[in-house]
Structure 1
C-alpha cells in the first residue's frame, strides 16, 4: 500500500493542549485509512466522529486494547493508527512495537490523557511518529495527522518540555566515559551534526537544504548516514536524540 512520505515544517503551537506539528503539502490521492485504538468506548466514538468529518480520512476499524489493535491492523491494513498508550493488557507502546514488525507497518500517532512522561518517549522509541495529549483541539489533531502522513513528527509542547528537561539532565560530565549517544555523536561530521540539530528543530529536508545551502538529495544522504552511525531507524528517533543531547534549538 502506497503512502505519502514527504517531509514538512514544524511550528510549535501554544502550550494549551495544542500540538507542535509538521505540516505537509501533499494532497490525498485517496482517503487515508485510519485505525482508532482506545480502551474507553466514548473516546473511540468521539475520535471516530472527528476523523470521519475530516476530508481525506476514513476510519476502517476500532480496537479497545493492544492485542486487538494488532489484529485489526493485520485485517484492515490502515495507513494511520491513533494509538492510546495506557490500556489494560497490552499497552500502546508494545502494540506500536508489534505494529512496526508488520510487512506494511502503519504510521502511528500516539495519544494520552495523562501527564507526559517516559511512556511517551517509549512510544517514540517503539516507532510512533508523533505524540499528542488528548486535550488537543480538533483542528490541531487534523494538522498533526496531516503532518504524520507527510513524513513529519508532531509533538505536543509538553513532550518538547520533557525532551529539553532530559537534555539538561543528561549533559555529559567530566568524570568517566561519555554516555553511548555522546560517543556516537563524535562519529558524525560537522555537516551531519548540523543536520541532526535541524532535525531536532523539526525541519523538513527542503528546509534543512535552504538553511545549510545544500541540495535536498545532499540532505537526504546526510540523514541516511547519521541514522546509520547513531544506530537509529527513523528521523523521529533522531529528533528525540537531538533533544536529549541538547542540540535542538526549539
Structure 2
C-alpha cells in the first residue's frame, strides 16, 4: 500500500471502552492510519463495518454476546470484506487457530508494544498475515500435535481432497506459501515470474475457498501431517 495515498481506515471492536480509547489515541497519532468508528461487541461490529467499510478491523476475540470469531466469519462473507486483525489478552491454541480459521489475517496480544500493533495494522492492511511471536509458536505446536482439536476437526484426508483440485504448479505455490516464502522468493524457487505467482495465488484462494495465505499454509500442513 502506498502510504502517500489516503490513510488506512480502521474500526476498533472491543468491549472495554478504555482499551478502545487507548487504541484510538495510538492509531490516530499516525499520519497513515485513522480510526473511523468503534464497536463494543460482535453484532455492533457487523453493523459498523457494513456502514463504514473500513480497510482493517481490530477485533477483540472474547466479548459479551457475539464474539469476535463469529463476527469475523460473517464479515468475511461480504463481497469486499475488511482485513481482520485479532487483538486479545488471551493466547490459547484454540483461540489462535480459531481466529485464523475464521479468516483473520493476524493475531496480536494486547500486551504487544504499541509500535508493533501499528506495524501489524499496516501489514494486515497490505493483505499480508501477521502473528505475534507467542501466537506463531502456538500455531506451529497446535497444527502438528497429533491429538489437537485442529487435527481432529480438519483431517489429513479432507485437506488432501481439497488440495487435489489444484494443478501441480498451484500445489507447488501452496507449499511455498506454507514455507513462509513471499512472492519474489516463490518466483525464484519455482523459476516463474512474480505475476505468475500472483495468478496462482488468486487461483488458490478461489479453489480452496480461503481468504488469506495463512489459511493456505494451515491447509498444506494438515495435508502433510
Q: TM range, normalised to the smaller chain?
A: 0.7 to 0.9
Change over 3 Å in CA distance of 1:28–1:202 after alignment to 2: farther
Structure 1 segment 167-206 matched on structure 2, within 5 A: 167-170=143-146, 179-186=157-164, 188-206=166-184
Q: Paired residue for 2:150?
A: none
Which TM-score applies when normalising by structure 1?
A: 0.77
Runs of 4+ residues over 6 Å off in structure 1: none
Taking the aligned partners of 2:79 and 2:19, their CA distance within structure 1 comes to: 29
Taking the aligned partners of 1:108 and 1:71, their CA distance within structure 2 comes to: 15
Question: Out of 183, 202, 217, which is 1:239 matched to?
Answer: 217
Taking the aligned partners of 1:105 and 1:232, their CA distance within structure 2 comes to: 12
What is the aligned length? 218
Which TM-score applies when normalising by structure 2?
A: 0.85
- Please report how far the alpha carbon of residue 230 of structure 1 lies from its aligned counterpart in structure 2 after TM superposition: 3.5
Does the alignment pair 1:159 with 2:135? yes
Taking the aligned partners of 1:178 and 1:242, their CA distance within structure 2 comes to: 9
Taking the aligned partners of 1:135 and 1:51, their CA distance within structure 2 comes to: 16
- Please report how far the alpha carbon of residue 69 of structure 1 lies from its aligned counterpart in structure 2 after TM superposition: 1.0
Structure having the higher helix fraction is: 2
Q: Which has the higher contact order (CA 8 A, sep 6+)?
A: 1
Greater Cα shift, 93-102 or 35-44 = 93-102
Q: Paired residue for 1:37?
A: 13
Greater Cα shift, 104-113 or 198-207 = 198-207
Q: Paired residue for 1:224?
A: 202
Q: Paired residue for 2:90?
A: 114
Does the alignment pair 1:72 with 2:62? no
Asked if the contact 1:65–1:87 (Cα under 8 Å) also holds between the matched residues in 2, the reply is yes
Change over 3 Å in CA distance of 1:162–1:242 after alignment to 2: farther
Unpaired segments of 5 or more residues in structure 1? 5-25, 172-176
Asked if the contact 1:33–1:58 (Cα under 8 Å) also holds between the matched residues in 2, the reply is yes
* CA deviation string 1:132-173 (max 9, x = no partner): 1111111211211111111201012223222222332249xx
Taking the aligned partners of 1:126 and 1:61, their CA distance within structure 2 comes to: 22
Greater Cα shift, 96-105 or 39-48 = 96-105
Taking the aligned partners of 1:89 and 1:114, their CA distance within structure 2 comes to: 17
Change over 3 Å in CA distance of 1:240–1:158 after alignment to 2: farther
Taking the aligned partners of 2:166 and 2:186, their CA distance within structure 1 comes to: 17
Q: Paired residue for 2:116?
A: 140
- Please report how far the alpha carbon of residue 235 of structure 1 lies from its aligned counterpart in structure 2 after TM superposition: 2.4
Taking the aligned partners of 1:170 and 1:44, their CA distance within structure 2 comes to: 38
